[in-house]
Structure 1
Amino acid sequence: KEIKALRDGQLPCHPDASIFVRHDEGRLDTWRAILTGPVDTPYALGLFLFDLYCPPEYPSISPLVHFETTNGGTVKFNPNLYADGKVCLSLLGTFTGTDKTQKWDPDVSSLYQVLLSIQSQILAPHPLANEPGYENLTSLPTWKKQSADYNAKLRLYTMRYAMLAPLRQPPCGFEEVVKLHFGQQRDRILQQCWAWTRESPPELREKT
């Protein structure tokens, strides 16, 4: 049922944000997805790779999701995306939230909802707000600079590990996706990279 829905165009496919999914033909419990970073975020136009596994109890329980764009476990892209691949999300039961509607519901929740939640809630314009305790600090005078500094680092990570890395070595099964993405978005990506590089502090460029 879910495979048919995804094949029938349920997944978003737009220059500003897209999701691409593949599954093992011999094992329908194993999936792999690429999420493009939404525009106007420090992840914009990057390619972010996730592995998904549906346990035998699925959909009674949520799938397991592992983040792969970590440069071999060395880069943390978000307070909710750990360098070891852990994805913190209420829907997955890996983040404690107070809103019950954000928790896994076997009757309505789906892989599509998981992927869309990651793209919209985690790959967000101000990811520092995802850090526990920071959500109440966004109104403080210091918040704007803190968020900008954090985003500047993430932009460099995006260019290096979500653009250059997949260009050099496309994830298996997504070679055509990578080719089309960077081919069709070439001018847009180049302009963005030039802007991000100019805006980043020199000392930060040297460190990352």
Structure 2
Amino acid sequence: MASISSRRLAKELMEIKNDGCPVGINLVKADDFSTWWFTIQVMGESLYKNEQFTLQFRFDPQYPISSPAVQFVVTDGKEAPVHPHVYSNGHICASILGNEWSPVLSVIAVCVTLQSMLASCKEKQRPIDNDRYIKHAPENPKKTRFHYDDDT
């Protein structure tokens, strides 16, 4: 019997394959229901014009009740975007990935939110505590208890 998680992810994947992704978001790989990769690009005028980043989603058996672990992929040749809410190891401080996660959110909704977060960035800079954080950060960003500040 399929789990709630696998049924939900199968539904989301079918919608992505049938309807496509929003402009600037592309599914790279989704071979199973544990890890998916997307590329994300900010469209229009922004500090990230002509830059493309890769997002990794890792799902646990409690998805969609629990949020996916989402981070920018950092490898040789690929960096996380320089952004006040993105650590240099790719971890993202965004409330929708933590205390404001809702099971009604989808993978594509998260991608669109992160695309919007990049589009609205006013200054390319790392979080103030970047060096300290990456020195002690767990591999899984969900194991971090971020403090969320309102940018307004």
TM range (shorter): 0.5 to 0.7
Whole-angstrom distance in 1 between the partners of 2:33 and 2:93 = 24
How far apart are 1:10 and its partner, in Å?
A: 4.5
Name the residue aligned to 2:114: 118
Whole-angstrom distance in 2 between the partners of 1:11 and 1:73 = 22
Whole-angstrom distance in 2 between the partners of 1:91 and 1:134 = 13
Report the residue type matching 2:29 in the other structure: H
Report the residue type matching 2:26 in the other structure: F
Report the residue type matching 1:115 in the other structure: C
- Give TM-score, length-normalised by structure 2: 0.67
Secondary structure of the structure 1 residue equivalent to 2:85: coil
Whole-angstrom distance in 2 between the partners of 1:74 and 1:49 = 9
Name the residue aligned to 1:56: 61
Name the residue aligned to 1:104: 101
Q: Does the C-alpha gap of structure 1 residues 77 and 24 become closer, same or farther in structure 2, counting only changes over 3 Å?
A: same
Higher relative contact order (CA 8 A, sep 6+): 2
Report the residue type matching 1:40 in the other structure: E
Q: Does the C-alpha gap of structure 1 residues 72 and 66 become closer, same or farther in structure 2, counting only changes over 3 Å?
A: farther
How far apart are 1:71 and its partner, in Å?
A: 5.7
RMSD between superposed Cα atoms in Å = 3.0
How far apart are 1:11 and its partner, in Å?
A: 1.4
How far apart are 1:65 and its partner, in Å?
A: 0.8
Whole-angstrom distance in 1 between the partners of 2:66 and 2:42 = 27
How far apart are 1:121 and its partner, in Å?
A: 1.8
Equivalent pairs, count: 122
Gaps of 5+ in 2: 1-10, 128-147
Gaps of 5+ in 1: 97-102, 137-208
Whole-angstrom distance in 1 between the partners of 2:84 and 2:16 = 29
Indicate conservation of the 8 Å contact 2:53/2:80, yes or no: no
Name the residue aligned to 1:20: 26
Report the residue type matching 2:65 in the other structure: S
Name the residue aligned to 1:45: 50
Indicate conservation of the 8 Å contact 1:70/1:76, yes or no: no
- Give TM-score, length-normalised by structure 1: 0.50
> What fraction of aligned residue pairs are identical, expressed as a percent?
25
Cα deviation per residue 1:3-26 (whole Å; 9 max; x = unaligned)? 01111225113xxxx10013342x
Secondary structure of the structure 2 residue equivalent to 1:20: strand
Whole-angstrom distance in 2 between the partners of 1:75 and 1:110 = 22
Task: Find out whether 1:8 has 2:7 as its counterpart.
Answer: no
Larger Rg: 1
Whole-angstrom distance in 1 between the partners of 2:43 and 2:33 = 28
